[in-house]
Chain A
Amino acid sequence: MPNVMQLLPMLEPDEMTYVQGIIKDMNDSQAQQFASVYANRRKDTQTILIATVVGFFGVGGIQRFLIGETGMGILYLFTAGLCFIGTLIDLVNHKKLTFEYNIGIAHQVARMIKTIS
């Protein structure tokens, strides 16, 4: 059985648990392929955190664009992050936002690998 600790050691703990559940049915070459694609496509927690902190000093809502929520991003951009309250919420919540985006990407990559091989 492929082990997520060896393939993708940089994941967050909860994300690691989730990805282990996805790759446990794959064989070794598939898991290797999954790891290389997923490591390139996932977003780091730190990136989202920095993009959120930028909202306090400049343009708000970059984190929402980065995780693929364009509507929320535009709303944050034109209202200065909902009067900085939305930026504050995202600052507290940045790990969960990244987790949500990353597991979406993980499912997408797993589907892709299943159709290719």
Chain B
Amino acid sequence: MKGTKNSREKQTDFKFQITYCFSNRKAIVSINKFDIRMKNFFYYNLEIGIWCSALIYFSVIDPTVPQLFSLCPLHNLGFDFCPGCGLGRSISYVLHGDIVASLKCHPLGIPAAIILGQRIYHLSKNIFRYQHYSSL
């Protein structure tokens, strides 16, 4: 770049632009790193998030009222028989303390609640452990 006589201001301006650009770039890079971290964090904690939200959902809903829609693909396809249907209501009954109704809905409700709790406990020990081992 060719310097003119009263180019002092321009030069500083240019410098400012460079530093601005540079700092901006730095910011972008750091945002990208942060993005990757967050992505890994969500990826590595997907399972515990799903189990926890399922248990929270089952503890919030009222199991005596039939739900509006079912997530079960077999039920949505029109089959009457599905080995897993009723499990959600059963877990919900267990969390509300009604053991008999839970056993009537699905016999595996109590073990399912215990196993899910165990799995959540096991996963919660390493929530912040693996996100640094980037798969990118």
Contacts and interface: CB of A to CB of B under 8 A. Distances in A.
A83 B115 CA distance: 17
Interface in B49-103: 50, 71-75, 82-85, 87
Interface string A58-102: 000000000001011011001111111100010011011101000
A71 B118 contact: yes
A71 B83 contact: no
Given A69-B119, A80-B83, A75 B108 contact: yes
Nearest to A97: B47
A98 B84 CA distance: 25
Contacts of A79: 83-84, 87, 106, 108, 112
Contacts of B121: none
Contacts of B85: 83
A17 interface: yes
A83 B72 contact: yes
A99 B111 CA distance: 26
Contacts of A96: 43-44, 46-47, 130
B115 A72 contact: yes
B119 A17 contact: no
Interface residues of B, number: 27
A93 B51 CA distance: 13
Interface residues of A, number: 26
A84 B74 contact: yes
25 contacts: A12-B135, A13-B134, A13-B135, A14-B130, A14-B134, A14-B135, A71-B115, A71-B118, A75-B108, A75-B111, A75-B115, A78-B83, A79-B106, A81-B84, A82-B87, A83-B73, A83-B75, A83-B82, A83-B85, A84-B73, A89-B46, A92-B46, A93-B47, A95-B135, A96-B47
Interface of B: 43-44, 46-47, 50, 71-75, 82-85, 87, 106, 108, 111-112, 115, 118-119, 130, 133-136
Given A13-B134, A83-B74, A83-B85, 20 more contacts: A14-B133, A14-B135, A15-B133, A17-B134, A72-B115, A72-B119, A74-B111, A75-B108, A75-B112, A79-B106, A79-B108, A80-B74, A80-B82, A82-B87, A83-B73, A83-B82, A89-B47, A95-B135, A96-B43, A99-B130
Interface of A: 12-15, 17-18, 69, 71-72, 74-75, 78-85, 89, 92-93, 95-97, 99
